[in-house]
Structure 1
Amino acid sequence: MTLASSPDRVHVRAPGKINVFFEVGDVQDDGYHDVASVYQAVSAYEDVYATHADGFTISVDGVVDVSGVPVDDRNLAIRAARLLAQEIGYPGGVHLEIHKAVPVAGGMGGGSADAAAALVACDALWDGGVTPARMQQLATRLGADVPFALMGGTAVGTGRGDQLSPALARGRLDWVIATTRVGLSTPDVYRELDRLRERSAPDIAPPRGVPDVDPAVLQALRTGDASAVAAAVRNDLQDAAFALRPELAALRDLGCDNGALTGLVSGSGPTVAFLATDATAALDLRVTLAAAGFDALTVHGPVPGARVVG
């Protein structure tokens, strides 16, 4: 395909994610932590439209509050487009229209989904021909959650969360996502985790070693049994998020008292994800949480990663 015959506008949809399991290792010399995570892509989507342009520009709207989303080179989607242009030697630019439905700064990877969608959209728009393996490598350079937004489904992430292996997950899990209007800084949550661990550790403590995924959560996902999944989920960042924002613990308790099988902070928060027995129970819980003043939506997983639409 030549540039003259390439599409004028490409639409790509990419999912947000929930961390079904999240174990955090000790802080490393560079200040980062190794993690072991189980991601599940869920049906809260980011829609990115790419059109030809001389430079690199972006516009953002959505059904969630987008007032804090940058519309310059700080936006990860613009950085993704520039990276792909550099990779394939493309001399032009792109305009990206982003329509957001994943809560912003909520620990659900919305910005990473935008970046993954931008990579796929620009590759199609510019006829880049980048292989899936190379696309994953480029995604890794943009951030730990971007490779999973490309992959979708359910996956185990290790290292910084970007070393991915697909995980078998049967059936459908129904979730209710509840968000609050005040965000949480990811670095602050990790610092609070380190502080809590240092305060609670004995004088001489054995090393925790390399973080790993509990086999129980993988077995539960293979069975597709929501109750078994609920019994196995865990997030090491949750106590730190609760310490910084005690109202999140109250939100978790409210959901669990009203029919959720379990509730946990997704990623570093402040989103709380509730696992329901089925779609009907999820809708009932959403109504309850909305009546209590929370922004809530129902989603299901797993769903595919970033894909061209149409």
Structure 2
Amino acid sequence: MSPVTALGHAKINLALGVGPLRADGFHELDTIFQSLDIHDRVTVTPVDGPPGVRRLTVAGLGADAVPTDRTNLAWRAAELVLGDLTGVPAVDIHIEKGIPTAGGMAGGSADAAAALRATAEVLRVVTGTGSSEAQLLEHARALGSDVPFTLLGGTRRGTGRGELLEEIPATRTRHWALAFNRRGLSTPEVFRTLDAMRVGAGCVASGDTSELLAALLADAGPEEIAPLLSNDLGAPALRLSPGLAEILRVGESAGALAGIVSGSGPTCGFLCADAVTAREVGGAVAGACCDIRMTATATGPAPGAQLVPR
């Protein structure tokens, strides 16, 4: 059987409200995700050997920072799908990175979602039976908070720890310039810093997504959406990486409608009125900010994890 490839798309949080720490160690979240057309390619190949994942390799953007053992979410995703049936093959996994690592854009979760799709298709062809959509979503929830969204894509509100999803039928194309930092940020450290900042301030109030949700449901334009973008993790990311403030300033001065830290950072996203402005903003940030390793433009919403036609 020939290899099966699936695309896993990056995400950006249009709004991210972080509630208090829960008993299970997670924070209660209220977020609005949007998938972007920047993606990784995950290829799953059946090979000879005992059932399971034989090998995982990585190439592309930031490949040297991606684990190639079972700590990689894509490896664990394939194992979960292979565990759905008996008589399954061994597989090799190859990831071609286009999403920055440790950038707050759910690259590892996107890889896991794509691995779920590709491995399920391998089983469908080899055994005649594949995992159901419900099984894949259950596996996604077991793998991590962002994996269910990267599996489904589009624009969705996420609650709980982000895994409880409600589709938002927002189809208008949004144009983004993205600035990828040379140094990553640890997501747990960003959350710990937020908790410490809130203890110091004596409050744990989280951001409110309701206005943005209403605007998206009304199919509002980018000028109306821009002032409603928010991220509770932006302040702790700026405390840990103060240079992000200059990146945001340059992008907004160059014509972006709004700049935000993406998720836990350090990638910065700039909502723009159109594709031309997005290119101009990306160029301005790349030319002015020494901490930037590269910039890119993107549009959203994009699909969830999807098979590449063979």
Which TM-score bucket, shorter chain as reference?
Answer: over 0.9
1:101 to 90, 98, 103: 98
Q: Distance in 2 between matches of 1:148 and 1:23?
A: 16
Aligned-partner residue type, residue 185 of structure 2 = L
Please say if 1:254 is aligned against 2:250. yes
2:158 is aligned with 1:157: yes
Deviation at 1:91?
3.6
Most deviating of 48-57 and 149-158: 48-57
Classify 1:224/1:73 alpha carbon distance in 2 versus 1 (closer, same or farther; 3 Å): same
Q: Deviations over 1:57-112 (max 9, x none)?
A: 111111x2211101111111000011111122344221111111011110100110
Measured against aligned partners, the alpha-carbon deviations of 1:108-150 in whole angstroms (never above 9, x if no partner) come to: 0011011001010011011142221221111100011111111
Give, in angstroms, the shift of residue 194 of structure 1: 0.7
Q: Map of 1:86-165 to 2, 5 A cutoff?
A: 86-127=83-124, 128-165=129-166
2:237 corresponds to 1:241: yes
* CA separation of 1:240 and 1:90: change in aligned 2, threshold 3 A: farther
Q: CA deviation at 1:213?
A: 4.8
Query: Who is 1:174 aligned against?
Result: 175
Which residue in 2 is equivalent to 1:301? Answer: 300
Indicate if the aligned counterparts of 1:172 and 1:224 stay in contact, CA closer than 8 A. no
**Which consecutive segments of 4 or more residues in structure 1 shift more than 6 A?**
none
Letter in 1 for 2:228: A
**Structure 2 unmatched ranges of 5 or more:** none
Confirm or deny: 8 A CA contact 1:41 1:304 kept in the other structure.
yes
Overall identity of the aligned pairs, in %: 39
Aligned to 2:79: 82
Q: Match of 1:150, SS?
A: helix
Change (3 A) 1:78 1:158: same
Of the three residues 10, 27, 35, the one matched with 1:41 is 35
CA distance in 2, matches of 1:138, 1:89: 17
**Distance (whole Å) between structure 1 residues aligned to residue 89 and residue 5 of structure 2:** 19
Is 2:249 the counterpart of 1:273? Answer: no
Q: How many residues align?
A: 297
CA RMSD of aligned residues (A): 1.5
For 2:83, what is the secondary structure of its paired residue? helix
What secondary structure does 2:243 align onto? helix
How far, CA to CA, are the matches of 1:52 and 1:28 in structure 2? 41
Secondary structure of the residue that 2:65 maps to in structure 1?
Answer: coil
Alpha carbons of 1:195 and 1:132: their partners in 2 closer, same or farther (altered >3 Å)?
A: same
Larger mean Cα displacement after TM superposition, 247-256 or 290-299? 290-299
Checking the alignment, whether the CA contact within 8 Å between 1:170 and 1:224 is kept in structure 2 is no
1:37 to 1:224, Cα distance in 2 relative to 1, 3 A: same
Q: How much does 1:31 deviate?
A: 2.7
Shift in Å, 1:196: 0.7
Give TM-score, length-normalised by structure 1: 0.92
Residue 221 of structure 1 and its aligned partner are, at CA, apart by 2.0
CA contact (8 A) 2:37 2:302 kept: yes
